[in-house]
Structure 1
């Protein structure tokens, strides 16, 4: 990753090329990748060093030892990472962790379809599934039954390898695999749950699809998969988005997309700037369980077998008694200003200018450099003016360095601090809400296009990530053929 220009990930590089970064104005996939606004290259008479120093001065205003808790549960930061891995392919961690680029596959479909869990299904991704019993997913091993299934080298057998990059997102991934196996057990055994899953899964899908297209022996699997997808989409719309975006902005986007449904499905302004708000919500330490408290962020590394004593108590991450994420805003835990050598060990290069390792280790600075020097995003002021919103002037730290436009990533955080009470609003809120909502609008079978969908009563009276995790923890030991699903 650090050998790529400005710390670009593979998605960043792909987007840059699609957006005309190599002398062409024709993007090969304009309907999928592109700008919401327009390209905005760095111009002016300032030297590269002067620009980097100005951005660095801005970044240093963000560093804090203690930040107050925000409105969102701590687990929502990592659920956001999970969602990101479902709709994008970006080899840069959402919280600064190292990604092995050799493990990254082709660009993902920008749909909320849980292909990060299911891959391409049992036929095309058989390494994720049990052969006997059919329709179940591999999970765990005898000494760590809730760990992800792994090969002989310890690599996770999952639809997206990035979901093993830290032990929190890894266990959210595992929870969805467990959920699938729990529901497969209930469907196989019959009873009321089977009927509920069947009725929900068939909503909005032509009857001939189930009877003529889907093989009879795969019907149970496909019904469980769609049942989970619909509930996952509901969580994105009703639990995740309201945790980090002002509800009035969500309601406004649902009523009328501010980009008139004409923008790219996966805009650079979303993937490179607005959706990276999650960096500002990361805590420096987390309590994982009664026996694992105050665990440093960068000691929770993944990409290898997880011991059972690192199993999360999900109630510490979702629900009434959960730890909290930091508020979305212009303050960040100092841990993210000193990324470990395992994440960043080399300087960054901007053309012929070398950015020292000490600066390269600052995650916020890396975000801004990606935003401005690699992807050429519009400034926050330009985006706000385009949308007819109140414009926030550039911070003093930038003005003192003769920079009068704020990088879009920082501007989205600044809006949250100034107007959003710790949630995205303005430009940032509209971009994030628009992209996720549009992904559901464009899917004719999504929960947003179903009339009368209600979450399953089996998840409790108030469906949320908290109730889903409670359901999984309550039933995960009741899975049929459980030991047959282990990887030894």
Structure 2
């Protein structure tokens, strides 16, 4: 599904008279949202006279305000009868106190560095954007200031919709949806490479100071951006100003009616809020194009299918065993994800979209927030010196990774593309260097890096304190407590596993112990906090504990198992990665980078 949606933006079903008909529309409930439809037709004609600069990109799109509810996915509960946190007037303050105790030590100790390469932090965010959108904001749900009370689960499931199709189908890359209007069709024509319609278009980074990281000979290493389209007369400012819908128009124009040249033309604008996620978007776009070349086919569908299947295989065979308990991943794969399959069978009657468990989206899959560092060994210019070079900075700070994006307007540089000295060098992101903490993810635990407690690039009205946001959201959406989820999983036929004691849950600083005791969270624990704490205690911070592993692995494996178009259900039997180079099949994210000329 294609849309331009930032973190903190939210859509709910209207309740006015017009929405009481079949196929009730979706309406943006916050003034800072920009959610209107435009997307790809079934077949795009070639563009005449378009410059063949730098290969390929994805669709930038938004959800239609009059899209019927059958075109969106459902958020439901794995454990709808599980008990939630007790409602009380002081619960928001109690949760905020717990959130405020989740601050990492400064300076960070070496014990907080994991053996997980840092790419897995942002690969998880990329996966999340591919599957779900719309849990981050509603005008009266989890992000508002002051006192809040829980929504009933019936209210949540009736009014909260997934703006993705829920599958691991790289929807954020391809933006598979039905477009509306001439401007939608115009953009969809632009997304594909005019010289070879099997490919997708990328952009070139902006030349800055002669500093060029690898690859020097193939530098299509940024996203397609609006400035390129305007500069080459593929779109015009007049065309943008003529867009009738003001919300859609404001995606491309600032408050004075001037174009925003750094705006990325991609399937999900959230993938250009953080530079590493944006560079992963570039990587998978390059992967699609390299597969189109390797198959010697001008078939877009063939390249897309192979890209999706490799991606799904890597999620199950590399990503999950890295971030989850490998034994639990094996158990879930061997049993074909029965927890999610039962959930799917219960909730998939109304349409083709994959239902999404709230316990996963709102809690389980937010463990990656604790893996974020305050800075990284990004490349030879913003990281460790290489080959006699002198870095501009000793590391890339987290706020810089937000600034050098389209959302951050390239940190105010007078360029429309990513400055070339900010292109990622992936070798620093996929291997651990014990002497260089910038080359590892932080451990999965209950402490967050300081930048996550005061987030930049957030819309008005959205909590900038990420821990407060996550805990309030879970309370507002009536998530089952961790203890209730543990009970349900243990009763579902899986092998028995260890459960955290009240004493273990309260371990930590004086502020942490007080917050846990005051809120009663040692026996009724918010699910997100429990999942982080069990990773810290039972997984030594190197992977999720048993409950988190079951929720995350069941969901990701289950999405693949129950998708008739996935590699799991390939004609002739379950597909395996193929040999597209002379050496070996693509069986790791490093293999993808190498195949794409990025490693």
Do the aligned partners of 1:249 and 1:425 also contact (CA within 8 Å) in 2?
Answer: no
Match of 1:87 in 2: 131
Unpaired segments ≥5 residues, structure 2: 1-6, 14-23, 25-68, 138-160, 180-184, 208-219, 228-260, 345-354, 384-394, 410-416, 491-496, 507-512
Match of 2:479, SS? coil
* C-alpha RMSD over aligned residues: 3.2
Distance apart, 1:185 and its partner CA: 3.0
Match of 2:562 in 1: 442
Q: Please, which of 315, 318, 324 is the counterpart of residue 239 of structure 1? A: 318
Match of 2:202 in 1: 139
Q: Please, which of 451, 454, 458 is the counterpart of residue 343 of structure 1? A: 458
Match of 1:126 in 2: 189
Give the distance between the partners of 1:368 and 1:380, measured in 2 at CA: 13
Q: Please, which of 448, 463, 467 is the counterpart of residue 591 of structure 2? A: 467
Give the distance between the partners of 1:72 and 1:260, measured in 2 at CA: 27
Distance apart, 1:114 and its partner CA: 1.3
1:35 aligns with 2:91: no
**Closer/same/farther in 2, CA of residues 90 and 62 from structure 1, 3 Å limit:** same
Give the distance between the partners of 2:485 and 2:71, measured in 1 at CA: 23
- With 119-128 and 174-183 compared, the bigger mean Cα shift is at 119-128
Question: How many residues matched?
Answer: 401
Give the distance between the partners of 1:260 and 1:433, measured in 2 at CA: 9
1:57 aligns with 2:97: yes
Match of 1:33, SS? strand
1:364 aligns with 2:450: no
Do the aligned partners of 2:568 and 2:574 also contact (CA within 8 Å) in 1?
Answer: no
**Closer/same/farther in 2, CA of residues 402 and 268 from structure 1, 3 Å limit:** closer
Report the TM-score when normalising by structure 2: 0.61
Unpaired segments ≥5 residues, structure 1: 1-6, 19-26, 94-104, 189-193, 195-217, 349-359, 476-488
The structure with more helix, counted as a fraction of residues: 1
1:254 aligns with 2:359: no
Do the aligned partners of 1:112 and 1:233 also contact (CA within 8 Å) in 2?
Answer: yes
**Closer/same/farther in 2, CA of residues 296 and 81 from structure 1, 3 Å limit:** same
**Closer/same/farther in 2, CA of residues 177 and 63 from structure 1, 3 Å limit:** same
Match of 2:122 in 1: 78
Match of 1:276, SS? helix
Match of 1:397 in 2: 514
1:224 aligns with 2:343: no
Distance apart, 1:343 and its partner CA: 2.5
Match of 2:278 in 1: 170
Distance apart, 1:413 and its partner CA: 0.7
Give the distance between the partners of 1:375 and 1:122, measured in 2 at CA: 30
Deviation digits for residues 221-241 of structure 1 (CA, Å, limit 9, x no counterpart): 221111111111111011111
Match of 1:456 in 2: 578
Do the aligned partners of 1:86 and 1:108 also contact (CA within 8 Å) in 2?
Answer: yes
1:269 aligns with 2:359: yes
Distance apart, 1:85 and its partner CA: 1.2
Give the distance between the partners of 2:201 and 2:267, measured in 1 at CA: 12
Distance apart, 1:267 and its partner CA: 0.7
Match of 1:408 in 2: 527
Report the TM-score when normalising by structure 1: 0.74
Give the distance between the partners of 2:98 and 2:135, measured in 1 at CA: 26
Match of 2:222, SS? strand
**Closer/same/farther in 2, CA of residues 402 and 177 from structure 1, 3 Å limit:** closer
Match of 1:212 in 2: none
Give the distance between the partners of 1:334 and 1:118, measured in 2 at CA: 34
Deviation digits for residues 143-188 of structure 1 (CA, Å, limit 9, x no counterpart): 4641101113321111222111111110110111112222323444
Give the distance between the partners of 1:344 and 1:136, measured in 2 at CA: 34
1:184 aligns with 2:322: no
Match of 2:439 in 1: 323
Match of 2:190, SS? helix
Match of 1:400, SS? helix
**Closer/same/farther in 2, CA of residues 327 and 187 from structure 1, 3 Å limit:** same
- With 77-86 and 457-466 compared, the bigger mean Cα shift is at 457-466
**Closer/same/farther in 2, CA of residues 151 and 134 from structure 1, 3 Å limit:** same
Distance apart, 1:30 and its partner CA: 11
Distance apart, 1:387 and its partner CA: 1.9
Give the distance between the partners of 2:528 and 2:373, measured in 1 at CA: 19
